[in-house]
Amino acid sequence: MNLTELRNNFPTELDCVEYAEIVRWEKGVRCAYCKSKNFGARNADFRYHCKDCNKSFSVTVKTYLHDTRLPLSTWFSAISVITDAKKGISAKQLERNLGVSYPTAWKLSHTLRELMAWENPEPDSLSGIVEMDETYIGGKPRKMSKTSQPIKRIPEMDEQIKEIREKGYSFNRKRGNKAKPDLNPKAGAGTDKIRVTGIVERNGNVIAQVMKTLSHNELRKMVEKYVDEDKAVLITDAAAGYKRMNQIIDHISVDHQKLYSYRGVNTNSIESFWAIIKRGIMGQYHSVSARHLPNYISEFVFKYNNRDDNEKMFDILLQNALSELPF
């Protein structure tokens, strides 16, 4: 939901409150403390007084927005602005857009990132053609080489592709932005940058997480958790951590020292996702600490997985923000 739609649908604070009450209490307002429906009319401060437990409450009580001093209209605007920014928006820009202080904008944006983390793909939810790769966050991008290498026939990969296609899989991608891989990659095993691993279902959802190591065991655990091994084919590069993946799933590796794509077998989808993250971090946030990086990764995952429906992103975050929490 963009800002124009937001202003048209919720022109006043009361409109925001009434919509939030519908989101939280589908079957009608009830006391946030004792669940009673015996309360008076809404007061000027948008609170109710419960006649059973003698407490006052609002729609944000006992939710992620408990004790917020910001009006709901500001939260609505923040959700709209943040979900509409594909590559993210800095807290400084959010400060200017919302007319709040920088600490408020920073805290608000991180609260919404935490809510985005609730929407990661479910276990065993990725299937079909899935691509897996790792990236390193930190430092400046390397210059791309303009040289290209001729593609030669690779009989063993031809045989693998034939077997996989006979099972009903297709390696053809839909139209979209193509990744531009680095043709002169620096070996990453000894880097001090932060490791992030991702798995993407081609034309589907992505999962990504910060990793301490890129060992085979850790990568395998990630595959076993998020991928339906019986209904998927895994494509990776030739890194050592992926070498025994064929023990649990149909697996094809692409040796990036020789080529980047072969008859539709490539890791371009996950490379494109990495490109979005790095453009966001370098272009918007400029610097991200190791402590907060998982939340930033959750933001990019959330936006990628809901990229076809901006209004859905708004509703999901609002629903999460108004979910009742134990106090």
| pLDDT tens, residue by residue, 190-217 | 566 899 999 999 999 999 999 988 999 9
| Whether residue 24 is found in the same domain as residue 53 | yes
Any domain includes 299:
no
- Identify whether residues 133 and 257 lie together within a single domain: yes
User: Please, where are the H alpha helices in the chain?
Assistant: 3-9, 13-24, 72-84, 91-98, 102-116, 155-166, 216-226, 268-280, 293-305, 310-321
pLDDT at 120: 81
The answer as to whether 297 is a domain residue is: no
Same domain? 270 vs 203: yes
Q: Is residue 142, in this structure, part of any structural domain at all?
A: yes
pLDDT at 268: 94
Looking at the structure, do residues 257 and 136 belong to the same domain, yes or no? yes
Q: Cα–Cα distance between 127 and 228 in angstroms, integer?
A: 6
| Inside any domain, residue 292 | no
Partners of residue 234 on adjacent β-strands = 130, 251
Tell me: do 189 and 316 sit in the same domain. no
Q: Are residues 178 and 238 in the same domain?
A: yes
* pLDDT > 90 in the chain, percent: 68
Could you tell me if 15 and 106 lie in one domain? yes
Whose CA is closest to 171, among 257, 261, 272?
261
Is residue 293 in a domain? no
Quickly state the pLDDT bin for 186 (edges 50, 70, 90).
low
If one counts the domains in the chain, the total is 2
User: Does residue 50 lie in a domain region?
Assistant: yes
The answer to whether position 61 is within a domain reads yes
Quick: pLDDT tens for 3-57: 889 999 999 999 999 999 999 999 899 999 999 999 999 999 999 999 999 999 9
**pLDDT higher than threshold 60 for residue 281:** yes
Residue 281, C-beta contacts closer than 8 angstroms, at least 6 positions apart = 88, 137, 287, 288, 296
**Same domain? 109 vs 209:** no
Q: How confident is the model at residue 178 (pLDDT cuts 50, 70, 90)?
A: low
Residue 187 has pLDDT above 60, yes or no: no
pLDDT on residue 308:
85
Class of residue 11 by CB neighbours under 10 A (exposed 0-12, middle 13-18, buried 19+): exposed
191 and 225 both lie in a single domain:
yes
One domain for residues 8 and 42: yes
Name residue 70's amino acid. Answer: L
**What pLDDT is recorded for position 139?**
60
Q: Which domain holds residue 58?
A: 3-118+307-321
Q: Clarify whether residues 132 and 270 are in a common domain.
A: yes
